[in-house]
Amino acid sequence: MAAAAAAAGGGGERSSTRERLLAALEDLELLARELIEILAISRNQKLPQPGEESQILELLIQRDGEFQELMKLAVDQGKIHHEMQLLEKVVEKRDNDIQQLQKQLKEAEHILATAVYQAKEKLKSIEKARKGAISSEEIIKYAHRISASNAVCAPLTWVPGDPRRPYPTDLEMRSGLLGQMNNPSTNGVNGHLPGDALAAGRLPDVLAPQYPWQSSDMSMNMLPPNHSNDFMLEPPGHNKENEDDVEVMSTDSSSSSSDSD
Amino acid sequence: MNRLPAFRGRQHPTLVISAALEAVSPLPGIVKLLAVANKDSQDVHQVLNELKNKFQEMRKLISAMPGISVSPEQQQQQLQNLREQVRTKNELLQKYKSLCMFEIPKE
Q: What is the ipTM of this complex?
A: 0.72
* Dist CA A227 CA A202 (whole Å): 10
User: Nearest 5°: phi and psi at B4?
Assistant: -75, 140
Closest chain B residue by Cα to residue A22: B59
Domain ranges of chain B: 68-106
> What three-state secondary structure class fits B22?
helix
Task: Give the distance from residue B48's alpha carbon to the nearest chain A alpha carbon, in angstroms.
Answer: 9
Cβ–Cβ below 8 Å for B79 and A83: yes
**DSSP 8-state assignment for residue B104:** P
Residues of chain B falling short of pLDDT 50? 1-9
Interface mutation target, options B2, B4, B15, B27, chain A, most CBs of A under 10 Å:
B27
Chain B residue nearest residue A19, CA to CA: B69
pLDDT at A25: 93
Count of all residues that appear for chain B in the document: 107
For residue A115, give how far its alpha carbon lies from the nearest alpha carbon of chain B (Å): 14
The model's pTM is 0.53
Contact B3, B40 (CB under 8 A): no
Q: Is A160 exposed, middle or buried (0-12, 13-18, 19+ CB in 10 A)?
A: exposed
Which of B67, B70, B93 is closest, CB to CB, to A94?
B93
**Buried (b) or exposed (e) across B68-93, using 16+ Cβ within 10 A?**
bebbbeebeebeeebeebbeebeeee
List of chain B residues whose C-beta atoms are within 8 Å of the C-beta of residue A21: 62, 68
The residues in A 74-133 lying below 8 A from B, measured between CB atoms, are: 74-84, 87-88, 90-91, 94-95, 97-98, 101, 105, 108
Q: Which of B51, B63, B65, B84 to mutate to test the interface with A (most CBs of A within 10 A)?
A: B65
Residues of A in contact with B65 (CB under 8 A): 18, 74, 78
Residues of chain A falling short of pLDDT 50:
1-12, 187-261
CB contact under 8 A, B86 and A28: no
A vs B, Cβ pairs < 8 A, gives: 133
pLDDT of residue A53: 81
Query: Cα-atom radius of gyration of chain B, to the nearest Å?
Result: 27
